[in-house]
Amino acid sequence: MKLRITATRKTVNQIREKSKIASIMGDSKTLKRTQVMLMIFEGIKFKSIAQSIGVSEETIRQWIKAFLIRGIKFLKFGTPSGRPPKLTKGQKRALAKIIDEGPEKYGFMGGCWRTPMVQQIIEKEFGITYSCFYIARLLKEIGFSYQKATFVAIQRDESLRNVWLEKIWPKILREAREKNSYIFFGDECSFSQHGTLTHTWARIGVQPVVKTSCSRRSYKVFGLIEYFSGKYFSMAHEGKINSDSYQIFLESVLSMTRKHTILIQDDARYHTSEEMEEFFSKNVNRMSVYQLPAFSPDFNPIEILWKKMKTKGTHLKFFPNFTSLTNKVEEMMIEFANSKEEILSLFGLYERLEFFECFKVPA
């Protein structure tokens, strides 16, 4: 006798909803149960279901029995009860190595890891099923954190970056000490009245909303931060950033300082134009200029400052008019100008390089 199990439309829709949530949450156990029950209602044979889902026919019979007794509660998703089986130290090292190598090498399409992907690896490689909630804790335990990714230009030349770190930066340090010079890292940043968004907490399925004026007008800021003292010079600018406005900013900095200045900048066009070359030539007694390797914003500590200013000043904020934006940006400029310790904390990369340089044996 062939057994056919049916369910009401309401029950089927409830199971489909739980299957969708289980898929999003990476709850493979609940996902399998919901898929099995939906296939049962469609009249698919046990053998075909077992081959498709990857469970035994006896397991399917037990799940049907539990469903008939407990109903929809049997399919409740969530973290498994009891202590999950532990990965060994060797397995944790193997997992960390896979994560370090990146998802593309393992066969995933994406360039960054998500917990359901890690869940699949643990199941496939070690035969252990963890909930996504526990995997987040496990990853922290083995030295990983949840971070926002950054783009890296494919045009970036690693050999030039190595030359900068190993040869040019030590040369800059020696020059600064010989001449008692400042070392300024410079850049520009634009703050839009439209506002900026970032991660925030919200109910699942309810996208957070931030008001905006829809204005694309922006407030530009030139900035320099000094390696030894933590000095921060800045100048706001409402017009277009070009060689003329950049020159005005540098002239104002030179008027407020007396020591020789070493300027480190990127290769933006208005930094390297003929007008700027002429300006640097005229001020060669006051200023030495070095260019960072192309596509290397991570080598410029002031980039971190811009991120901090946006996080504290403009992320998820509403600016009803341009004045409200300019007031907030200028407030941030003053705050960081008076926070030398925080400015100095931005130079971690170069401080580590200087530290190791001290232990090198002269050739």
Rounded distance between C-alpha atoms, residue 350 and residue 252, angstroms: 27
Whether residue 291 is contained in a domain is answered as yes
- Give 145-148's long-range contacts (Cβ < 8 A, gap of 24+): 148/199
Residues 238 and 299 in one domain: yes
Q: CA dihedral in degrees (74, 75, 78, 83; nearest 10)?
A: 50
The pair of structure tokens assigned to 321 is 């008019």
3 state DSSP class of 107: coil
Is 83 inside any structural domain?
Answer: no
Same domain, residue pair 175 and 304? yes
Asked if residue 147 is part of any domain, the answer here is no
Measured distance CA(26)–CA(18) in Å, rounded: 12
Structural domain for 163, as ranges: 159-357
pLDDT digits (tens, 9 = 90+) for 327-356: 999 999 999 999 999 999 999 999 888 766
146 assigned to some structural domain: no
- pLDDT value, residue 23: 72
Domain assignment present for residue 253? The answer is yes
Examine the domain organization and report whether 278 and 216 are in the same domain. yes
User: Do the domain assignments include residue 132?
Assistant: yes
Answer with the one of 22, 53, 75 that is the final residue of a domain. 75
Whether residues 119 and 175 share a domain: the answer is: no
The pLDDT score that the predictor gives to residue 85 is 63
Helix (H/G/I), strand (E/B), else coil: 271: helix
Inter-helix orientation angle 28-41/57-70, to 10°:
80
Average pLDDT, the chain: 87
Task: Dump the DSSP string for 217-254.
Answer: -EEEEEEEEETTT--EEEEEESS---HHHHHHHHHHHH
Regarding whether 314 and 165 lie in a shared domain, the answer is: yes
- Structure confidence at residue 156 (pLDDT): 84
Whether 199 is covered by a domain: the verdict is: yes
Indicate whether 48 and 105 sit together in one domain.
no
pLDDT at 361: 43
CATH (domain of 296): 3.30.420.10
- Res 26: pLDDT: 64
Consecutive 10-residue averages of pLDDT for the chain (363 residues): 72 84 73 87 86 85 85 66 72 93 86 88 88 87 84 82 95 95 97 85 82 88 97 93 96 96 96 96 96 95 95 91 95 94 94 67 44
Judgement on whether residues 101 and 171 belong to the same structural domain of the protein: no
Note whether residue 81 is domain-resident.
Answer: no
190 and 96, same structural domain?
Answer: no
Residues 284 and 193 in one domain: yes
